[in-house]
C-alpha cells in the first residue's frame, strides 16, 4: 500500500476514494471537513475533486485531533484563514484540553470514592433497616 501511495503522490493528486483509503476517513467525512472549511481548498477537474498530499495530511490531523477529544467546532477555531492550523493557538488549546481532563479525572475520583463508601455502607444498612422507606432515608443522609 505504501508503494501505491507513493506512486499516487507522484501524480500529485488523489480522487476522493484514494484520499479516503490513504487517510482512513470516509469520503462523506472528508466532504464534511471541506464544507466546514477545515482543509485547504481542493482543486477540481470538472466535477472531480483532486486531493493533494497536503489534504491527506490535513485529514489525518483532523482525525487525530478528534481522537484526542477536540470537536470539529473547536478545530474550526484553531485554524487560520488559509485553512491551516494556528499552531500557537493549538498548543494553548492542548493545555486547556489537558486542564479540562485533569478536572474530569478529579471529578471521577470523587465519584469513585462516593461509590466505594456506598458500597461499603449499603450491606450494613440493608441488614439493619427494615423497609425501603427507612433505607432510602438513611441513604439520603450518607
49, 42 contact by CB (below 8 A): yes
The last residue of one of the domains, among 66, 81, 96, is 81
pLDDT band at 9 (very low <50, low <70, confident <90, very high): very low
Domain count within the chain: 2
Check whether 121 has a pLDDT greater than 90: no
Count of all residues that appear for the chain in the document: 142
Considering the chain, what percentage of its residues have pLDDT values greater than 90?
63
Q: In this predicted structure, what is the pLDDT of residue 134?
A: 76
- Which of these ranges, 2-16, 34-48, 108-122, has the smallest mean pLDDT? 2-16
d(CA 136, CA 28): 51
The last residue of one of the domains, among 57, 81, 105, is 81
The last residue of one of the domains, among 34, 59, 81, is 81
pTM above 0.85, yes or no: no
Tens of pLDDT along 16-64?
A: 999 999 999 999 999 999 999 999 889 999 989 999 999 999 999 999 9
Domain span at 120: 86-142
Q: In this predicted structure, what is the pLDDT of residue 3?
A: 52
80, 38 contact by CB (below 8 A): no
77 and 49 together in one domain? yes
23 contacts: CB under 8 Å, gap ≥ 6: 30, 56, 59, 60, 63
Amino acid at each position: 500500500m505504501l508503494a501505491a501511495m507513493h506512486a499516487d503522490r507522484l501524480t500529485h493528486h488523489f480522487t476522493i476514494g484514494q484520499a479516503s483509503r490513504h487517510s482512513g476517513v470516509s469520503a462523506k467525512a472528508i466532504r464534511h471537513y471541506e464544507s466546514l472549511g477545515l482543509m485547504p481548498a481542493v482543486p477540481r477537474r470538472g466535477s472531480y475533486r483532486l486531493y493533494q498530499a497536503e489534504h491527506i495530511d490535513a485529514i489525518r490531523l483532523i482525525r487525530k485531533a478528534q481522537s484526542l477529544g477536540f470537536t470539529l467546532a473547536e478545530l474550526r477555531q484553531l485554524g487560520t484563514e488559509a485553512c491551516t492550523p494556528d499552531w500557537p493557538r493549538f498548543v494553548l488549546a492542548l493545555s486547556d484540553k489537558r486542564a479540562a481532563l485533569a478536572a474530569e479525572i478529579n471529578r471521577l475520583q470523587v465519584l469513585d470514592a462516593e461509590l466505594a463508601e456506598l458500597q461499603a455502607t449499603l450491606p450494613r444498612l440493608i441488614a439493619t433497616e427494615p423497609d425501603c422507606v427507612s433505607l432510602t432515608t438513611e441513604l439520603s443522609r450518607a
